[in-house]
Structure 1
């Protein structure tokens, strides 16, 4: 353990950057917020778990060196980028259709959603795992947060600390935005909220499709 703790001075800058990135607005947090206020706390928490699972997938890939391998194969990243962009645009279309529905046809706050737990988890997982920028974020954490030839125990420690923090942040979003106050606010401005999410997902999807990695 003392050997692992000696790497903490290297980890802190990367950890702080990671927490800021995870807590800042993005497709993942918007998905958690939207699901929590419209479908309830359970749905929001399951979506958060799916997003965290996607992050863990990239963390494992970065730790195994797969990120560097993918970086050398542009076609693999291009395919992931296109899939991620298309999926975000699909979410934009879903939000747009929801915004057009009259309030009488929307079951707000109903914990009995049309989605199963598996579907909610997969939705969250897909949002994160189809974003190639996520793997570069983890590559930066592993590269900047640890010196060369760091032991496996140090790699596992930084992944565990970052994943614990991301789970805390994601579940906090789900808990806060599934309260009765959030639901009342959402009911009052549902169409505006859904419309804003549609625009956000569209911009994020188009940016991903047109960006160079």
Structure 2
């Protein structure tokens, strides 16, 4: 099979898992939403770019660590796959549980005073100090990278997810600078969470059943 064709499904699945994960607001998303609503779109976009930069750094760290471990201890691939699949199942459980609740999105201001550069630095700090980011990246890399994967596979995931992060967080900054958008998202939130749960279950299954 052509090398590109053999790795493309895993790469697309990794992109899908990363993209859909952004639909479930965490600390980074809520910070962007809160800043856009309470301070302004310009500051929200600066914060979003900071978060996206953090995504790029996390991607580099994850890929470097992932490939280093596999090159030294190829036998640990099975354990990594189990860990990644288990974490995706945990995310699925959280999404299904969230879909059964009626919680409201509460966007709060970060209390920063200063130019957009200050919001950029805060966004970078928020993303780089997020402990869940490391777990998420293990799961994402497990979907596409194995011990025999060429360099371009990991690079495509790092740069692809960075672009997705920029687009996604900037979209939140622009769209959620108005209160009606928050209300619209709130109405669709339970269906979104349920869909996320189903996708994470599927991604976990793909990791466990992959032959590599």
TM-score per shorter chain, which class? 0.5 to 0.7
C-alpha distance in 1 between matches for 2:31 and 2:132: 17
1:1-213 alignment to 2 at 5 Å? 3-65=3-65, 95=108, 114-179=113-178
**Structure 1 length-normalised TM:** 0.59
Give the paired residue count: 144
Query: What secondary structure is seen at the aligned counterpart in 1 of 2:148?
Result: coil
C-alpha distance in 1 between matches for 2:173 and 2:140: 25
C-alpha distance in 2 between matches for 1:129 and 1:181: 30
Counterpart contact for 1:14–1:144, Cα < 8 Å? yes
Note the C-alpha offset of 1:149. 2.0
Deviates more, 1:121-130 or 1:160-169: 160-169
C-alpha distance in 1 between matches for 2:54 and 2:147: 26
Shift in CA distance, 153/22, structure 1 to aligned 2, threshold 3 Å: same
* Aligned-CA RMSD value: 2.9
Shift in CA distance, 149/31, structure 1 to aligned 2, threshold 3 Å: same
Counterpart contact for 1:58–1:138, Cα < 8 Å? yes
- Structure 1, gaps ≥5 residues long: 70-94, 99-112, 186-213
Note the C-alpha offset of 1:65. 0.7
The runs of at least 4 consecutive aligned structure 1 residues that moved more than 4 Å come to 66-69, 95-98, 179-183
Question: Match for residue 188 of structure 1?
Answer: none
- Structure 2, gaps ≥5 residues long: 70-107, 184-212
